Structure 1
Amino acid sequence: MKIIISPAKSFKENKDIPTEDILFKDKTQYLVNKLKKYTMNEMGNLHGTNDKLTEKAYYDYQEMDLNNLKNPALFAYDGLVFKQFKREDFDDLDYLNDHLYIISPLYGALKPLTAIADYRLYFDNKDIDLYDFWKDLIYKEVYKDNDTIINLASVEYAKTITDYLKDGDRFITIDFKDVRDGKLKSIVAWMKQMRGKMVKEIISQKIEDPEKIKEIEIDGYKYDPYNSTSDRWVFVRDNQ
């Protein structure tokens, strides 16, 4: 069983954990070389960023050296998903590294200990068709062991896999919803936090049978069989 998650926009230095090389170094280097040729204005137009973010993205690429990366991906991203765990939550880094992927527009598929540098690049940019660029490479990497995939990524990132699913591939999306005014609603901030907490629970407990995930209860969210399907499992919290 493997888990996939989305990356984050924010980044923090964390060089105290051993790292490993990028899985698709040649492909990533191609993108880096391309982006290094962008002018400051072109970099800003790529994602419609303000001057401060544009300048940072521009110089991040100018200074990027894929032969000198030190930050392990899982502990370098700093968004809501990644704030739900820390290094000390995982007593077996080898197990963690073998059971989780982070989907990235720049790096393709990242393992938790893959070394990365800070960057700004999204699939919904205004210049490069990154879905076409990566084609089925990410899918093939994630499914190379014919595992069940537990999807805790957003639609934008899961698309790198779902577009290539074949008969027999087991791909289970986990969703989190809150009961508000008698209706089920997705609260983005809570959903992101629960994705991170679910990663921590599955990995720390070393869960190998997907059915065992249904037994997990986090912050009041419980598996709801009535609103779930075979490939989309909904965890619901009733605040009423």
Structure 2
Amino acid sequence: MIIILSPAKTMHVPLTAPALSTVPVFGKEARDICNEVKNLSFSDFSRLLKVSGGLARQAYDTMQQWIWPHDPKIASAAALMYDGPAFKGLNAHDFSRGELEFAQLHLRILSGLYGVLRPYDQILPYRLEAQTPVSVRDQRNLYSFWNSHPAKNIEADLRKLKSNLLINLTSDEYGKMIIPHISANVRIINVAFKEMKAGKPFINVVEMKKARGMMSRFIIQNRITDVESLTAFDLSGYYFERKLSDENNFTFLRG
């Protein structure tokens, strides 16, 4: 089993370093993307990323400082550097050594810049989304640039695990990097998290993102490698709703 998770826009350099440290598989590709971004003027950069003011300046400066290979003194583990709701739910900062090693095998974080990351791949801060329309190597956008490479990397890791099970905890934006390119023999489980309000399920985006991280943590801490065990997820009041689920689409409700 491999879990795929979206990255976060917000990033903070962690204060401590984990016991495990690896190098991103697609570092050279990330370098080529970043070189294209560095060549953009500040105004073009701001327009492409749809940011302005101080945030635009901070993001622009961050990308200008990005360099490959990374200096290990300033690079940090991806799972610890991302700081959005999903990563608060994951809370990888307190993983035991065993949990850390399981996560490294079974969790993958998708990235517009790095393609696909293991949780303890060392990265630098950046601001670039998968949907950002950057042209690299004559490809019109990052989806075209990455093509099937991240998916093939994940499939290779599934073969090493002797598994064909992919747990999709990504957003649509990042799922587009992987799902269309996955072979038919890989079983994809799509997971949705919803809240009940006035007797009807609805999506709270922030809570949904956090729940994706919590489910990743649940899988890691319980060493789950089979589909049925996923239905036992019950953190933060969630429960598996069979009536809204089918063989490959699981829905969890709360409230």
**How many angstroms apart in 2 are the aligned matches of 1:126 and 1:30?**
15
Question: Please, which moves more after superposition, 1-10 or 20-29?
Answer: 20-29
The equivalent of 1:140 in structure 2 is: 152
2:38 is equivalent to residue 36 of structure 1: yes
**How many angstroms apart in 2 are the aligned matches of 1:31 and 1:126?**
11
| SS at 2:56 equivalent | helix
Question: In the alignment, is the contact (CA less than 8 A) between 2:37 and 2:134 conserved in 1?
Answer: no
Count, aligned residues: 238
The equivalent of 2:28 in structure 1 is: 26
Q: CA deviation at 1:44?
A: 0.6
TM-score (norm 1): 0.94
**How many angstroms apart in 1 are the aligned matches of 2:97 and 2:133?**
41
Larger helix percent: 2
Identify which of 80, 83, 96 aligns with 1:78: 83
Q: CA deviation at 1:89?
A: 3.2
2:62 is equivalent to residue 60 of structure 1: yes
Identify which of 176, 179, 189 aligns with 1:162: 179
Q: CA deviation at 1:8?
A: 0.3
Matches within 5 A, 1:100-111: 100-111=107-118
**How many angstroms apart in 1 are the aligned matches of 2:250 and 2:103?**
22
**Structure 1 residues not aligned, in runs of 5+:** none
The equivalent of 2:138 in structure 1 is: none
The amino acid across from 1:36 in the alignment is K
Q: CA deviation at 1:236?
A: 1.2
The amino acid across from 2:61 in the alignment is Y
The equivalent of 2:203 in structure 1 is: 186
2:188 is equivalent to residue 171 of structure 1: yes
Identity fraction in percent = 29
The equivalent of 1:13 in structure 2 is: 13
Question: In the alignment, is the contact (CA less than 8 A) between 2:134 and 2:142 conserved in 1?
Answer: no
Q: CA deviation at 1:58?
A: 1.7
Question: In the alignment, is the contact (CA less than 8 A) between 2:46 and 2:52 conserved in 1?
Answer: yes
Question: In the alignment, is the contact (CA less than 8 A) between 1:90 and 1:96 conserved in 2?
Answer: no
Q: For the aligned residues, what is the CA RMSD? A: 1.4
